[in-house]
Structure 1
Amino acid sequence: MARPFFHTLLEGVGGFVVSVSVRFTALRDVVLPPFTGRVLKTLLHASPCMEALRGLYASRPTQRPVRLTALRLGWRRLYQTVDSAGRGPLRVRAGSTLRGVVSAIVRGDPFAVVGDAGGCSGRLPAPLDGLSFEVEEVKLETVEGLTAGVRAGEEFKLVIHTPLLLDTKLMTPPVLVDSSLVKVGQAYRLLPTPSYIAAAAVRLWLALARGERDLKAESWIPYAVGRLSDVLVAEVDYKLKPVTAIYGRAGDGGLRKARGPVGYVILKPLSDRLAPILDKTLALAQRLGLGKSRAIGFGEVEVQKPR
């Protein structure tokens, strides 16, 4: 008899997750991009010591194996919203210290990808030349050893630090994937239910930990885990706020915007078969982001123990 998919989903994985923590110092007052994940993207393209990570970032156009976070000023993630846009551009004062992380999943030699990043320092090019940078830490973890601390019968808190963009089509039944019924414009869930959270995390796991290229052929797996999650995961509490983030300008000069929730949701897995899947897939999402545009810093999530 074939083994159930929830046993085999976590098998056949390998490789490493590399996390490069970078400190930026403002040498003068600096105007930042509206979504500050683009500062790390500038670093990736401008610094020779980031060449290997830059190549990995460009290796596939979707489900990128590299994630760039929004910059943090203390605990606060820096990005501009429609509500804050009226106060002028996003600025930091001279002397401010900002931090961000470049994370990547590597199936080969992780040291070849990290390259010289461990001793990397310098100054960004214009118009961000008011920022100097220095790599503070390089962390290496095996994919097999990842854990988020999710256990059956125990509550966990999923904190959403930057807008989480979960496409409404994510939970499309597999038989309707090619149907004209779901060929509609893009929209995102403002209430992230267990099904959407789980399906997005499993989709990320298939693409990066398992290295599956044809996600359409595997679409039944995220859907099945999502459906089970709506039955076998209890929502205990939540505090969510929808925000509209600005992440650039369109070709016509208008603003590029994306709306998604930030805050937290407390969940409790009720099944000892489903909990290990959530544990592994959310651990990967914690390092590589969740949902659409996670590669530039949207969908930064963190699993915590509720207080």
Structure 2
Amino acid sequence: MGQNLSMHIFKVNYSLIPLHDVILPVPSSKVLKNLILSGKFLPSLAKLVESEIKSKPLFISALGNGEFRYLSDDDKIMNVKANSRLNGFVSFPYIDEVYNEISEGVYETPYGKFSLIVNSVEILDIQRMRIEDYMNYNIYVKFVTPVILSSKILLPPSLKDRYKNIKPGFSLLPSVGLIIAYAYRSYYSILGRTDEQEWATRAFKLSVLSNALAKIVGFNLSPKTVIIGRDEKNNLRKSRGVVGWIEFNIAERKIKKMAIKCFTISSYLGLGKSRGIGLGEIRVTLKKTK
């Protein structure tokens, strides 16, 4: 995924219908991941799915119904009855071959037999986004699935090496600057450039200015632990993030425009870490100020 990538993001909304009672894997996004890697659905994404690059421009949602997602916070089995309609989506930058790969069908997977239906395809043209109309609106961000954020992104890039071995854990009460810094990384992930010093410096400056110039209108945030699989010793792997919502405004016009742009992109590509397995799913709404 290089610098010549088209500035378009595809979002394929789909339904998976199990043809018999099934037990969903943990995380439930593994069902679609298996279909991609096996070449049955969107095979052009396989290299991106397998890539170990940081901040990869890919989001595979957990399966669910509406805003409910099949995510386990304990070791309980996630049973789903035959003919249940499980919804999900996958978002990624434009790839030429994708037009011929968005297909429906009945597929065997290690987790059961599913009928896949494509509900819709959305295309976000980043270069044609119109933001000027929304300056009199608050930004409302809902964390649908746990958002995994490290406050170390707020370190000045010059101090990165000094503290590289320190692991403070993840922030469960994120600031406006922290979530905007991660949204900015989602934006630049489509260029494959988020590890470069220039973009790290820009993210840091944006986070500091956003914290200084933001007015928080309200929030309802809480920590949530979810199981994300098992390690090589069959021990449960867990991740802890934050769910809920936060509403805020930013007083400076240029920074607010950038924030809206980045959050819009993050509503497709997710926010924070573990986006490839469905964590960090967000919804963004612009609310008219009174």
TM-score exceeds 0.5: yes
Hey, what does 1:24 align to over in structure 2? 16
Matched, 1:116 2:101: yes
Contact 1:67 1:288 in 2 (8 A): yes
Matched, 1:274 2:259: no
Hey, what does 2:146 align to over in structure 1? 163
Matched, 1:67 2:59: yes
CA drift at 1:14: 4.4
Higher strand share: 2
Hey, what does 2:88 align to over in structure 1? 100
Letter in 2 for 1:201: A
CA drift at 1:49: 3.9
Deviations 1:28-86 (A, max 9, x none): 2211112212222112112434211223433553222221011122431110013xx3x
- Between the aligned partners of 1:74 and 1:64, the Cα distance in structure 2 is 25
- Between the aligned partners of 1:256 and 1:61, the Cα distance in structure 2 is 21
Hey, what does 1:178 align to over in structure 2? 161
Hey, what does 2:264 align to over in structure 1? 283
- List alignment gaps of at least 5 residues for structure 2: none
Matched, 1:37 2:29: yes
Question: Are residues 276 and 184 of structure 1, via their aligned partners in 2, closer, same or farther at CA, if it must alter by over 3 Å?
Answer: same
Hey, what does 1:261 align to over in structure 2? 242
- Between the aligned partners of 2:108 and 2:36, the Cα distance in structure 1 is 10
Letter in 2 for 1:63: S
- Between the aligned partners of 2:96 and 2:198, the Cα distance in structure 1 is 33
CA drift at 1:213: 5.7
Contact 1:121 1:135 in 2 (8 A): no
Deviates more, 1:198-207 or 1:149-158: 149-158
Deviates more, 1:14-23 or 1:286-295: 14-23
* TM-score, with length taken from structure 1: 0.85
Letter in 1 for 2:109: P
- Between the aligned partners of 1:48 and 1:78, the Cα distance in structure 2 is 23
Letter in 1 for 2:81: R
Hey, what does 1:188 align to over in structure 2? 170
Matched, 1:200 2:182: yes
* RMSD across aligned positions (CA): 2.3
- Between the aligned partners of 2:69 and 2:155, the Cα distance in structure 1 is 32
Question: Are residues 189 and 37 of structure 1, via their aligned partners in 2, closer, same or farther at CA, if it must alter by over 3 Å?
Answer: same
Count, aligned residues = 285
Letter in 1 for 2:127: E
Residue 219 of structure 1: SS of its match in structure 2?
helix
